[in-house]
Amino acid sequence: MPTKRPRRDTRTFTDDHRKRLDRAVTLYLQRCYREATAARVSEFASFLGRNQDYMSRTAAAILGMSLRDFLRAKQLAYAARLLRTTPLPMREIALKAGFGTISTFYRCFRGLHKMPPAAFREVMK
Q: What is the CA radius of gyration of the chain?
A: 17
Residue whose C-alpha is closest to residue 59's, from 32, 22, 87: 22
pLDDT of residue 5: 59
Does residue 119 form part of some domain?
Answer: yes
Does residue 95 form part of some domain?
Answer: yes
Question: In which domain, by residue range, is 71 found?
Answer: 15-123
Report yes or no: 78 and 29 within 8 Å, Cβ to Cβ: yes
pLDDT of residue 12: 85
Q: How confident is the model at residue 4 (pLDDT cuts 50, 70, 90)?
A: low
pTM check: above 0.95? no
Query: Could you count the other beta carbons within 10 Å of the beta carbon of residue 56?
Result: 18
Residue 37 in this model has a pLDDT that exceeds 80: yes
Q: How many domains does the chain have?
A: 1
Each residue's pLDDT tens digit, 73-104:
999 999 999 999 999 999 999 999 999 899 99
Which domain CATH number covers 96?
1.10.10.60
Does residue 4 form part of some domain?
Answer: no
Does residue 9 form part of some domain?
Answer: no
- What span, in angstroms and rounded, lies between the C-alpha atoms of 34 and 91? 15
Does residue 72 form part of some domain?
Answer: yes
